[in-house]
Structure 1
Amino acid sequence: MKTLISISIFFLSAMVATVAQAERPNIIMFLIDDQNPSSVAAFGGDTYTPNLDRMAEEGMKFTRAYASSSVCTPSRYSFLTGRFAGNSHSELYLDAVGGKENQGLPNFNVALERDNMNVGNVLREAGYTTGFVGKFHLGSKLDFPEFYKGKDGWINIPRDAKPGPKTSAQFQHNERWMRRYLKTLGFSWAKNVYPENLHSPYSMHNPEWTTVAALEFIEENKDGPFYLHLCSTLLHGPDRSWRNSMDYPLVTGEGEVESLPEVMTPRDELLKTIAEKGFDPDSQVAGEAWIDDSLGAILRKLKELEIDDNTLVIFAPDHGRDGKASVFSHGGCQVPMIMRWPKGIAAGQVCEELVQNIDLVPTFFELGKAEKPEAYRVDGQSLTPLFEYGKAKDWRNHLYLEMGAARATVTKDWSYIAVRHTKEQIAAIKKASPQNLPKAMSYIGRLGIGIRGADRPGFFDEDQLYNLKSDPKEMKNLAYEKAHANRIEEMRDLMQHDLEVIGRPFGEFIPGGNAAEPGQIDKQIEIVKQIEIQGKKINVPAALRKNLGVTDEPVPDDKADKKATREARRKARIEAKSKKKNESGK
């Protein structure tokens, strides 16, 4: 009798465990690159995105979704961890900015840490099979030095490498290297991975290559539960690069390949459809429709396997296009996000609450019944309270954004931005020639995308206030108007609270370390606003040159800049180690 009871209890426990497993959804995080809401028809864009439109009709559209940072690396860090990039404790970030006694400068200087506090590892330990496909951009030699040594180590491929069998073999070597790297980070499975942005001589997009790996993973793990982090390289780069890539079907992250997998609509057929729908197939619509077609292949596979009802699919870009490397909402941090989960989200809903990418990982942990380690820091909050009606009682009233030397507090109606350069940056700004000022004063210290937001008049201002209702493109800075003094104070109080939670110095908000008070570079701000900026082309008008007494502008010395940066990092490391040693001695 006891044996029968034991057997019954065993089978009952097994059944309960099976039911519990079945209740947990599969999760696909479809993360793409550089997309504004205006490039999705469901958000009002004049383009061809039928699968995204259907996703919105069958799920929930988020109209106020944000990435916490507006360039690839820090944003992707948040998508994988649920933390602000400024809270990274990777060796790479500590090397760049020093310990927590210094102001943080989150940009391309963060990486996933060795402690594996990331979604792929925690869900794997909770019983999920976790997969990674596509663009990574979070590697670090400082955090994983062993991966860069020996015959199996990373191969540095020169930018001027010639296409051919040798270069293809190097690309293939590095792709296999990425698989090992991701498994060390805690993912169960990885395939068809791009280490970072596309690399010459094979810098053409190939969504079929990432899609075929995603379909393979889904097929292999259809019995679930599974988590797939699927990262397309689209829509990175100039608009024309997307269309040009369509003419190079055999170029992948493994170099040249012999055939194109037949998993998406044939490229010629897709271009023909775009034209039939009334769009120019040589315009940006080609890239927008191309990534949409990749999503369509994923949705069809889920339907075919009869697992789409209990699979949560999230579509979101890592940031916008026009305001990269800024903390502007328009074209920078605000992104189009859509979720579809027939079993858990009613069709046709619109959520207008303030949400951001740090909220996704805690959502996945809750749905996957995953217990994160006690030491795991999460800055976001689960989105599940929003799934039923698109709103929830006592939902947050503002967001915190970060990008290099800039921070932002965003409410539904207002955005306040504080730009606070460090003492070292201020010293460099004061020494910079007019030609070099835009680079020195950009939030991330570089030209190109670093000053893409400079098309807004207030970009370089240390304090900025925008009315998002009347000025959605953030063109008129109201921060210095007396009529808005109370509003500024309210927004600063919200930022103060968030900065205290972060725990690093920042300007006059949290004094200490290398943080500096505003008002020290007013002259340089006045000058830089008169300079003509077009991408990496800087033109100092003749009248300004004459007024400043500049006769011969020096060429920007990138080598000197890099040397000075390395030296500053070296000193910061020495100081941090010395302080740590003294504290442990006490």
Structure 2
Amino acid sequence: MKNVVRFFLALLFLPLCFSARAEKKPNIVLIICDDAGFADFGFQGSKIMKTPHLDKACASGVRFAEGYVTSAVCAPSRAGIITGRYQQRFGYEQINIIGYMDKNSALKGENMGLPESEKTLANYLKEAGYATGFFGKWHLGDGDQFHPTKRGFDEFIGFRDGSRSYFAYPEKELKKPHMKYKRMEWGYKKFKEPEYYMTDLLGDEAAKFIEKHKEGPFFEIVSFNAVHTPLEYLPEDTAQFPELNGKRKVLAGMTLALDRACGTIFNKLEELGLSDNTIIAFVSDNGGPTDKNASCNLPLSGTKSNYLEGGIRVPFFMTWPAGFPAGLTYDQPVSTLDFGPTFLKAAGLKAQDYKIMDGKDLKPFVNAVTPNAPHDELYWKKAERAAFREGDWKLIRYADRPAELYNIAEDISETNDLALTYPDKVRKMYKKIWEWERHHPAPLWIIDRKWDVYDLERMDKYHLK
């Protein structure tokens, strides 16, 4: 009789069990690499770089062929990613190097960072019951008030500055004033230099975080400093590229290590049976610097720090077996701003639960529930320099020469400037940039004032007054 009762009780609660499983919040792993070239991964078409783990992950999800960041340099781009908001909304557009400043400088390094009034994705997800961790390069403020553990992250292993060695610094070097925020930190003000290659270490620590929080849900950002300078590598990695030499050979070795570290994370998820209910997002924080680390952005023109496609269009994919199709290349423009709404909606939050975000939940778009593009308009701005994409058209505004106009669908390499052919379109798009930027506060920090003051004569030239 007892067994019969148990049987019927099991039948009674079975739908609830399936419902709970179906509604289980997904884990979220956001991987940000640093200064990677658009064409420097197998999933982006490279026949030289060896990235088997990333290629496999990309094939299991959605590759975004037109994935954009919000800035062509590191720190502002990361500010947009971690808030889901254009960084211009809170004055974070001009500064990139938020590190040691000379004591006589008007710029106070320790007071520069992501404004404390801004909530991060980690803040929201922590409130939604997620364990949160950050691993690697922070670059969103060196002062203690900006520390990751004070911005929504339960755990932090990494460094506050924008770059550092991939190996341990000698103690003598660490005593120099400018090294204050390059030190490796394990929590809050607990310092210990890495015992082995930084890229591998970050992958290992991110995997340990997954193991620790395997019951979920968890959210981690793995912010590799690879493949940013300094160009430091393991000889066994570069040895796999005998056909290369110089910086390109070093970059290939560093990219191989990056792929290996990502594989450590992916394998841990697979080992623990978490892959099906985990969102993985992979992106570079800006375009590759073709000079400093010999990145390749082809067929795009441009490089890190400028608003040609090579500076702002990046390797970008997302996987989520429970929510995204596999093997899809999505060819509409998307942005790292979209991480915020996508993650928070998946975690069960509603739009009214968080600040206005500029991105879109990508799930209905990649599943063809919403046939139109996520973004009709995308903007980039740093002082006078700006860019605006509207549909297939892109306008680049300069401080020292006439604007340029390109049709990205027909001219991905931006070699055919159509500004003189379509002057009315230039004027209308130029005015839209002005309308967009006029609603934002002045930049919190100004590096070079001559590029920041709007030139009324230039406004007259484009009939904006």
Alignment partner of 2:135 out of 127, 133, 143: 133
Distance in 1, matches of 2:373 and 2:204, equals 42
Q: Give the 3 Å change call, closer, same or farther, for CA 17–186 of structure 1 in structure 2.
A: farther
Alignment partner of 2:270 out of 295, 303, 307: 303
Distance in 2, matches of 1:279 and 1:474, equals 29
Please report how far the alpha carbon of residue 327 of structure 1 lies from its aligned counterpart in structure 2 after TM superposition: 1.7
Q: 1:59-109: CA deviations, max 9, x gaps?
A: 11000010010111000111100111111267998xx9xxxxxxxxxxx99
Alignment partner of 1:379 out of 338, 358, 377: 358
Q: Give the 3 Å change call, closer, same or farther, for CA 518–120 of structure 1 in structure 2.
A: farther
Do residues 315 (structure 1) and 282 (structure 2) align?
yes
Hey, what does 2:210 align to over in structure 1?
Answer: 218
Alpha carbons 2:71, 2:312 under 8 Å: kept: yes
Hey, what does 1:516 align to over in structure 2?
Answer: 455
Do residues 349 (structure 1) and 325 (structure 2) align?
no
Q: Which runs of 5+ in 1 are unaligned?
A: 1-7, 97-107, 148-180, 248-267, 421-459, 506-512, 523-586
Alpha carbons 1:21, 1:225 under 8 Å: kept: no
Alignment partner of 1:66 out of 65, 68, 86: 68
Alignment partner of 2:389 out of 410, 428, 433: 410
Q: Give the 3 Å change call, closer, same or farther, for CA 184–217 of structure 1 in structure 2.
A: same
Q: Give the 3 Å change call, closer, same or farther, for CA 221–274 of structure 1 in structure 2.
A: farther
Distance in 2, matches of 1:288 and 1:377, equals 36
Q: Give the 3 Å change call, closer, same or farther, for CA 411–49 of structure 1 in structure 2.
A: farther
Q: Give the 3 Å change call, closer, same or farther, for CA 215–374 of structure 1 in structure 2.
A: closer
Hey, what does 2:433 align to over in structure 1?
Answer: 495
Hey, what does 1:29 align to over in structure 2?
Answer: 30
Please report how far the alpha carbon of residue 340 of structure 1 lies from its aligned counterpart in structure 2 after TM superposition: 1.3
Alpha carbons 1:111, 1:138 under 8 Å: kept: yes
Identity percentage of aligned residues: 26
Distance in 2, matches of 1:182 and 1:237, equals 23
Hey, what does 2:186 align to over in structure 1?
Answer: none
Task: Letter of the 1:333 partner, please give it.
Answer: I
Q: 1:422-446: CA deviations, max 9, x gaps?
A: xxxxxxxxxxxxxxxxxxxxxxxxx
Alignment partner of 1:124 out of 118, 123, 126: 126
- The CA RMSD over aligned residues, in Å, is 3.6
Please report how far the alpha carbon of residue 210 of structure 1 lies from its aligned counterpart in structure 2 after TM superposition: 1.0
Alignment partner of 2:258 out of 291, 295, 311: 291
Distance in 2, matches of 1:90 and 1:289, equals 33
Distance in 2, matches of 1:402 and 1:133, equals 28
Do residues 473 (structure 1) and 413 (structure 2) align?
yes
Q: Give the 3 Å change call, closer, same or farther, for CA 44–112 of structure 1 in structure 2.
A: same
Please report how far the alpha carbon of residue 196 of structure 1 lies from its aligned counterpart in structure 2 after TM superposition: 2.7
Alpha carbons 2:93, 2:381 under 8 Å: kept: no
Name which of structure 1's ranges 372-381 and 70-79 shifts more when overlaid on structure 2.
372-381
Please report how far the alpha carbon of residue 282 of structure 1 lies from its aligned counterpart in structure 2 after TM superposition: 3.2
Alignment partner of 2:233 out of 210, 233, 245: 245
Distance in 1, matches of 2:56 and 2:35, equals 21
Hey, what does 1:235 align to over in structure 2?
Answer: 227
Alpha carbons 1:48, 1:274 under 8 Å: kept: no
Distance in 2, matches of 1:462 and 1:109, equals 36
Helix, strand or coil at the partner of 1:320: coil
Q: Give the 3 Å change call, closer, same or farther, for CA 229–517 of structure 1 in structure 2.
A: same
Distance in 1, matches of 2:410 and 2:111, equals 35
Helix, strand or coil at the partner of 1:395: coil
Please report how far the alpha carbon of residue 35 of structure 1 lies from its aligned counterpart in structure 2 after TM superposition: 1.3
Distance in 2, matches of 1:496 and 1:327, equals 17
Hey, what does 2:345 align to over in structure 1?
Answer: 366
Q: 1:171-213: CA deviations, max 9, x gaps?
A: xxxxxxxxxx222112122223453311675889620121121
Distance in 2, matches of 1:336 and 1:397, equals 21
Distance in 2, matches of 1:404 and 1:91, equals 8
Please report how far the alpha carbon of residue 467 of structure 1 lies from its aligned counterpart in structure 2 after TM superposition: 3.3
Please report how far the alpha carbon of residue 130 of structure 1 lies from its aligned counterpart in structure 2 after TM superposition: 0.9
Please report how far the alpha carbon of residue 356 of structure 1 lies from its aligned counterpart in structure 2 after TM superposition: 0.8
Alpha carbons 1:59, 1:347 under 8 Å: kept: yes
Alignment of 1:163-562 (within 5 A): 181-198=147-164, 201=173, 206-237=198-229, 241=231, 244-246=232-234, 268=236, 270-275=237-242, 282-322=249-289, 323-329=303-309, 331-371=310-350, 376-389=355-368, 392-393=371-372, 395-420=374-399, 460-479=400-419, 481=420, 483-502=421-440, 514-519=453-458
Please report how far the alpha carbon of residue 484 of structure 1 lies from its aligned counterpart in structure 2 after TM superposition: 1.4
Task: Tell me how many residue pairs correspond in the alignment.
Answer: 387
- What TM-score results when the alignment is normalised by the length of structure 2? 0.73
Distance in 2, matches of 1:354 and 1:122, equals 26
Alpha carbons 1:59, 1:345 under 8 Å: kept: yes
Distance in 2, matches of 1:411 and 1:110, equals 32
Please report how far the alpha carbon of residue 320 of structure 1 lies from its aligned counterpart in structure 2 after TM superposition: 0.4
Structure of greater relative contact order (alpha carbons < 8 Å, 6+ residues apart): 2
Distance in 1, matches of 2:370 and 2:401, equals 35
Please report how far the alpha carbon of residue 474 of structure 1 lies from its aligned counterpart in structure 2 after TM superposition: 3.0
Q: 1:223-253: CA deviations, max 9, x gaps?
A: 1111001100011126xx1xx4325xxxxxx
Distance in 1, matches of 2:350 and 2:118, equals 14
Distance in 2, matches of 1:370 and 1:470, equals 39
Q: Give the 3 Å change call, closer, same or farther, for CA 197–297 of structure 1 in structure 2.
A: same
Alpha carbons 1:327, 1:403 under 8 Å: kept: no
Please report how far the alpha carbon of residue 399 of structure 1 lies from its aligned counterpart in structure 2 after TM superposition: 1.3
Alpha carbons 2:240, 2:253 under 8 Å: kept: no
Task: Letter of the 1:342 partner, please give it.
Answer: P
Alpha carbons 1:116, 1:186 under 8 Å: kept: no
Please report how far the alpha carbon of residue 397 of structure 1 lies from its aligned counterpart in structure 2 after TM superposition: 2.1
- What TM-score results when the alignment is normalised by the length of structure 1? 0.59
Alpha carbons 2:342, 2:363 under 8 Å: kept: yes
Alpha carbons 1:344, 1:387 under 8 Å: kept: no
Helix, strand or coil at the partner of 1:113: coil
Please report how far the alpha carbon of residue 412 of structure 1 lies from its aligned counterpart in structure 2 after TM superposition: 4.9
Name which of structure 1's ranges 336-345 and 201-210 shifts more when overlaid on structure 2.
201-210
Helix, strand or coil at the partner of 1:381: coil
Alpha carbons 1:41, 1:53 under 8 Å: kept: yes
Please report how far the alpha carbon of residue 376 of structure 1 lies from its aligned counterpart in structure 2 after TM superposition: 2.3
Distance in 1, matches of 2:71 and 2:254, equals 23
